Chain A
């Protein structure tokens, strides 16, 4: 586990489980991502968020 510092208020116990199944390919998850793409294509995004160095 990489050592990362979190905002104190939002610090939480994080346990890595190498055997956990990533459900990223679930249809509901994919559908939500498609909706996000459609939303951003339609409405764009604030330029200030882009390509921050």
Chain B
């Protein structure tokens, strides 16, 4: 089964992607940025997912777009993660939503496609003050993943 996804626009560097969410609220520019966490000797990157607010000329990961395309947005972000880690297989990606409910959305997306994700990634979740291998029935505060 192929998931519905938006066309991904990639910047000239390896770290920056965009796509346009389309729905009842119109066309919303989504940005995805992998920021290297330079404090670490390993290849840690933070995953940023947000809207680009053109009028304010700034990014926001707290704005509520409510464009009724959650599944398609999550599938597109997952595709971007697959793409980025194909280019940078050593990358360790840290992902945490801007709020607990957004982190929960990440979890829903991961759980929905767990068999494919588990095929290609080592995925850990943080709960009860420790990291553990991701398990579908647990709720996590943050995620770390790396290509197998």
Interface size class of A (residues with CB under 8 A): 35 or more
Residues of B within 8 A of A (CB): 1-3, 5-13, 15-16, 18, 31, 33, 35, 37, 39-40, 42, 44, 46, 48, 50, 52, 58-61, 75-76, 78-80, 82-83, 86-87, 90, 92, 94, 96, 98, 113, 116, 119-120, 122, 124, 126, 129-131, 142, 144, 146
Give bound CA distance, A43 to B124, whole Å: 13
Give bound CA distance, A9 to B3, whole Å: 6
Q: Are B87 and A32 in contact (CB under 8 A)?
A: no
A-chain residues with CB within 8 Å of residue B146 when the two chains form the complex: 49, 52
Since A8-B2, A27-B58 are in contact, a sample of 9 more A-B pairs with Cβ atoms closer than 8 Å, ordered by chain A residue number, is A12-B8, A12-B76, A13-B8, A20-B18, A24-B35, A36-B46, A44-B131, A45-B124, A49-B42
Q: Which residue of A lies closest to B141 (CB)?
A: A39
Give bound CA distance, A40 to B39, whole Å: 10
Interface residues in A8-38 by Cβ distance below 8 A to B read 8-18, 20-24, 26-30, 32-33, 35-37
Q: Are B8 and A14 in contact (CB under 8 A)?
A: yes
Q: Known A7-B120, A15-B10, A40-B94; judge A23-B79 contact (CB<8 A).
A: no
Residues of A within 8 A of B (CB): 2, 4-18, 20-24, 26-30, 32-33, 35-37, 39-41, 43-46, 48-52
A-chain residues with CB within 8 Å of residue B92 when the two chains form the complex: 45, 49-50
Q: Which residue of A lies closest to B132 (CB)?
A: A46
